[in-house]
Amino acid sequence: MPKLTVNGKEVEVPAGTNLIEAARSAGVEVPHYCYHPGLSIAGQCRLCMVDIEKTPRPTIACNTVAADGMVVLTETDRVRETRKSIMEFHLINHPLDCPVCDQAGECWLQIYYMKYGLYDPRMTDEKVHKPKAVPLGPHVILDAERCILCSRCVRFCDEITGTGELGIFERGDHSEIGLFPGAELDNKYSGNVVDICPVGALTDRDFRFQVRVWYLETAKSVCPGCARGCNIEVHVNRRRPHHAEGRRVARLKPRFNADVNQWWICDAGRYGFGSVDAKDRLLVPTRRDGETTSDATWDEAIAAVAAAVRRFPPDEVGVIASPRMSNEDLVALRRLLDICTIQRVAFGVPPRVPGDEDDILIRADKSPNAQGAELMGLAGDARAILGAACGRRLKCLWIFGHDLLASAWPEAEVREALDGAEMVIFTGTNSNPTSERAHWVLPAAAWVERDGTYTNFEGRVQRFRQAVEPLGQALAEWEMLGRVLAALGEAPSATRAEHWFRRLATAGPSFAGLSYQALGDTGRLVAGSVAARAPR
Amino acid sequence: MTGETILTRNFARSDSHTLRAYVETGGYQAWAKAQAMEPAAIVEEVKAANLRGLGGAGFPTGIKWSFIPKNHAGPVYLVINADEGEPGTFKDRYLLERDPHALVEGMLIAARAIRSATAYVYVRGEYVEPWRRFSAAVAEAYAAQHLGRGFDIVVHRGAGAYICGEETGLISSLEGKKGWPKLKPPFPAIKGAFGAPTIVNNVETICHVPHIITRGAAWFAALGTKTQGGTRMYSVSGRVARPGVYEAPVGITLRQLIYERAGGVTGNGRLKAVVPGGSSAAILTADEIDVTMDVDGLKNAGTMAGSAGVIVMDETVSIPEALMVVARFYAHESCGQCTPCRESTGWIYKMTRRIVEGRGRKDDLDTILDVAKRGAGTTICAFYDGAVGPYISYIEKFRGEFEALIPHA
């Protein structure tokens, strides 16, 4: 492990570490554009110049490997001057259209100009003009004039997805990013190029012009789109509710986790949050009597559910839980099943179309917490529960989230089951054909509206945090289940998701020793699981 | 000053490009001799000859060869840079057209020295006739079994980019990629073409090698100066009576070259300035031409030998216009990879054009000088430093001429 000093501070770094990362480990920021830790070294932007003792002139830090005894200085006069010059070169042909640019507020040209530029502009000639507002694919749009040609997007498509849609065409100051003939930027990870674009060249078609980034607030979260559990940030707009037609969740961004998703997320996850602010959200508890549906209070709904599980014999109650429920919801459900001695429980409902999978991030299992449901002993035969309902051996069927009518099961069989049960309870965030046939509908808070944890496919328990208030009267499942338990005589004990997690941690060996604090921002593996290979 | 020619000795023969003519004049005897030599001995001979790269950088050839890792397992490539694109330079074209077997024989010897079994010759795309002549020579050499017995030559044509003459840009292009220069380290001798150790040499450099083997390092070294052996081919163009390629010992002075070889200055007959080493070399004024034309002589004069492209300008030539043309060239040919070069070559061209068109501003000259100096040394390859040579020298040496074009200067 080479030992070196950066601005006088000694650090020891793993062999092969470059000077940007070595400086970072010494708490020193070396400004850069083209360098990205997840991509190959390009050395093109020339901004990351540092001084190394005994070298005649500043050297790029990204392509210099830390060596024992190296003396690195990042703030010498000539480094500052060089940086200033490089900033000027980056900006002479830049349109400086910040007021109408979506990147404004999170643009590294703005940030570095203010930190390292601050020169008086000298460029008075006509700038080079290039294509603007060019859609590259379903999600990404290009403004070639704003582009600083760092090639991060090109390298992403070459090295991470291996799809190679993008290239740099033409030469000199006419160089521009573009698609190869016949190509479209429609790979399953295309949105990542927007994240890694340091400027406003590549922006999100979905997000742009919706809200200025300085109005956004951030919550650390986990993508619920598949069993990978990519770490994300949820960006919400609460300060400008009149923007974006009132949609609260503005966008999702990947959050680095070396063991789960590194810097990336897939497009399905990134753009899959539409249901949160959709018109079909369930907002209040409702009861259906024949063709008549009416709103109810939570007290009425809880009383009705409690009465049902008390009234029907346990083997006449079937519960189809959801692998989209959090560990906290599932442990509350587990408790309810235990005290009511309900045996008929399952969570797996086969999708009509099998999920896609790849060797990057995407898992075929499109639910975030099948592993958690499994560990809590909720695995059962859902088809058998359905069969019992068809055979009128089931009086009460409680469905969490699933649209059984959209599953791989024959629709007629599902209809028969839903008709066969005396009481169908549906708990979920959005209405669907199954919820429309339920007698009681209990609105659940979406994952961004509550705290919780998921256990991913490899057994990593990861926290997601509340970003916005629940819509209407929606409640987290653990909370409504807690109220049912209270109605059944259990002393109320959990007023926060974390309380249920504590009970989980003491309930069995898998989650033993875990706590929200221990999970931190990157999660922890449950006992007995072995970390899978890191994603590519 | 001897008048002996080495590289161009057969140019007068109309069949000089054929194997027959080459063999008649002693061709392939050096290869016969080299086959009995240990590779290391060949390297030592070339080192002792003080042969320096004649493509532009002037790096000692034998030392370059010795950078190939010892005991390397796997392929080693020899790559010949025949992408002659430096404005004012046209000597490799003559060699390819008129003595292509000298290159083939030189490659055989160089490949033995670096233990390479495959060589690529990257020929400038516009060089159609040179490519035909050289390809025909390669075919003859195969037929005569000089090639194909443990050593093969692949001829590859470029597609018209100056940057592909930069050795790592050339390698990128050869590999089928955009001709972008590569980050160094790693250097080509460690990781070059297709990831293998690679030596890139200029055509003229390699054409010298058979003569060094035949006649010895001492003879070759004695032809030149203390730090550079042999002769080289000077491409002389511009306002001279007899433009053309002149082979001369590297110790010749610029004055001798212009007046004794190229027939003196035309135009109004009075010399104003000379570019001594291709467009990337700093310009010399009329009273700076008593300088020897070897690598170190010109370096000491604040310019460079480069590719030995000598461009002569008489007093009727407008230096600002000349700079505008040069600046347009560099703006057009910048590969666009590194920011300083990509952005400032275009900017400087715009400023020089404005000045020439009478729309210059008072600060333009200082801005050009400042931008050029700030960008120098900050890029991946030497292209931008090559552009900076003319930017700075034309303005600093002929500032008055520029100022005269700027209103209110």
Residue B1 binned pLDDT confidence (cut-offs 50, 70, 90):
very low
d(C-alpha B134, C-alpha B97), whole Å: 7
Beta strands, E only, B33-114? 77-82
* pLDDT for A532: 53
Mean pLDDT of chain B: 97
> What are the structural domains of chain A?
3-90 (3.10.20.740), 100-277 (3.30.70.20), 286-525 (3.40.50.740)
Pairwise CB contact (< 8 Å): B375 & A89: yes
Residues A300-318: what's their mean pLDDT? Answer: 96
User: What is the DSSP-derived secondary structure letter of residue A242?
Assistant: T
Residues A290-306: what's their mean pLDDT? Answer: 96
Partner residue facing A172 (CB), from B346, B361, B378: B346
DSSP B143-170: HTTSSSSS-EEEEEE--S-GGGGSHHHH
Residues in chain B with CB shorter than 8 Å from the CB of A43 are: 183, 338, 380
Which chain A residue's Cα is nearest to B370?
A85
Using DSSP bridges, classify how beta strands B231-238 and B244-249 pair: parallel, antiparallel or unpaired. antiparallel
Q: What is the pLDDT of residues B335-376, one digit of tens each?
A: 999 999 999 999 999 999 999 999 999 999 999 999 999 999
- Phi then psi for residue A51, to 5 deg, are -95, 135
* pLDDT for A343: 95
A45 touches chain B (CB under 8 A): yes
Residues in chain A with CB shorter than 8 Å from the CB of B367 are: 122
Pairwise CB contact (< 8 Å): A46 & B351: no
**How far from A193 is each of A115, A169, B371, CA to CA, in Å?**
25, 18, 32
Partner residue facing B337 (CB), from A44, A92, A93: A44
Residue A531 binned pLDDT confidence (cut-offs 50, 70, 90):
low
Q: What is the pLDDT of residues B145-203, one digit of tens each?
A: 999 999 999 999 999 999 999 999 999 999 999 999 999 999 999 999 999 999 999 99
Q: Say how far residue B59 (Cα) sits from the centre of its chain.
A: 11
Ramachandran region, residue A489 (left: φ > 0; alpha: ψ -120 to 50; beta: rest): left
Q: What is the pLDDT of residues A158-200, one digit of tens each?
A: 999 999 999 999 999 999 999 999 999 999 999 999 999 999 9
B171: which residues sit within 8 A by CB, 6+ positions away? B79, B182, B188, B192, B193, B198, B200
Residue of B168, B328, B342 for testing the chain A interface, max A β-carbons within 10 Å: B342
Entry pTM: 0.95
> How far does the CA of residue A5 sit from the closest CA of chain B (Å)?
22
Partner residue facing A172 (CB), from B340, B342, B378: B342
Residue A459: half-sphere exposure toward Cβ, Cα within 13 Å: 14
Continuous segment of H or E residues that includes residue A388:
helix A382-390
**How far from B75 is each of A305, B118, B120, B166, CA to CA, in Å?**
76, 8, 13, 22
Mean pLDDT of chain A: 96
* pLDDT for A536: 46
Residue A245 has pLDDT above 90, yes or no: no
Contact between residue A339 and residue A490 where contact means Cβ atoms under 8 Å apart: yes
Residue A446 binned pLDDT confidence (cut-offs 50, 70, 90):
very high
State what percent of residues in chain A have pLDDT above 70. 99
Count the helix, strand and coil residues of chain B and give each as a percent rounded to the nearest 5.
Answer: 45, 15, 40
Which chain B residue's Cα is nearest to A125?
B350
* pLDDT for A247: 92
Partner residue facing B345 (CB), from A46, A168, A172: A172
Residue of A89, A91, A119 for testing the chain B interface, max B β-carbons within 10 Å: A89
Which chain B residue's Cα is nearest to A85?
B374
Residue B49 has pLDDT above 80, yes or no: yes
* Chain B: residues touching A (Cβ < 8 Å): 161, 163, 178, 183, 185, 331-340, 342-347, 350-351, 354, 361, 363, 367, 374-375, 377-380
Pairwise CB contact (< 8 Å): B336 & A122: no
d(C-alpha A129, C-alpha B73), whole Å: 50
A67 touches chain B (CB under 8 A): no
For chain A, the distance separating the N- and C-terminal CA atoms, rounded to the nearest angstrom, is 25
Q: Give the closest residue to A116 by CA, choosing from A90, A94, A138.
A: A90
Pairwise CB contact (< 8 Å): B346 & A43: no
Q: What is the pLDDT of residues A64-113, one digit of tens each?
A: 999 999 999 999 999 999 999 999 999 999 999 999 999 999 999 999 99
Residue B4 binned pLDDT confidence (cut-offs 50, 70, 90):
confident
Residue of A32, A39, A80, A85 for testing the chain B interface, max B β-carbons within 10 Å: A85
d(C-alpha B275, C-alpha B186), whole Å: 33
Which chain A residue's Cα is nearest to B350?
A125
Using DSSP bridges, classify how beta strands B152-157 and B118-123 pair: parallel, antiparallel or unpaired. parallel
Pairwise CB contact (< 8 Å): B374 & A171: no
Cβ–Cβ contacts within 10 Å for residue B201, how many?
27
Which chain A residue's Cα is nearest to B359?
A125
Residue of B178, B337, B388 for testing the chain A interface, max A β-carbons within 10 Å: B337
Pairwise CB contact (< 8 Å): B339 & A149: yes
A16 touches chain B (CB under 8 A): no
> How far does the CA of residue B250 sit from the closest CA of chain A (Å)?
30
Q: What is the pLDDT of residues B230-283, one digit of tens each?
A: 999 999 999 999 999 999 999 999 999 999 999 999 999 999 999 999 999 999
Pairwise CB contact (< 8 Å): A43 & B183: yes
Which chain A residue's Cα is nearest to B351?
A125
Pairwise CB contact (< 8 Å): B377 & A57: yes
Residue B3 has pLDDT above 80, yes or no: no
Amino acid occupying residue B9: R
Residues A301-307: what's their mean pLDDT? Answer: 97
Q: What is the pLDDT of residues B295-348, one digit of tens each?
A: 999 999 999 999 999 999 999 999 999 999 999 999 999 999 999 999 999 999
Residue in the structure block whose two tokens are 């010494």: A26
* Strand order across the A202-204 sheet: A134-135, A140-142, A202-204
Q: What is the pLDDT of residues A142-163, one digit of tens each?
A: 999 999 999 999 999 999 999 9
Which chain B residue's Cα is nearest to A148?
B339
Using DSSP bridges, classify how beta strands A249-254 and B118-123 pair: parallel, antiparallel or unpaired. unpaired
Q: Give the closest residue to A310 by CA, choosing from A438, A490, A436, A478.
A: A490
Q: What is the pLDDT of residues B82-107, one digit of tens each?
A: 999 999 999 999 999 999 999 999 99
Residue A530 binned pLDDT confidence (cut-offs 50, 70, 90):
low
A77 touches chain B (CB under 8 A): no
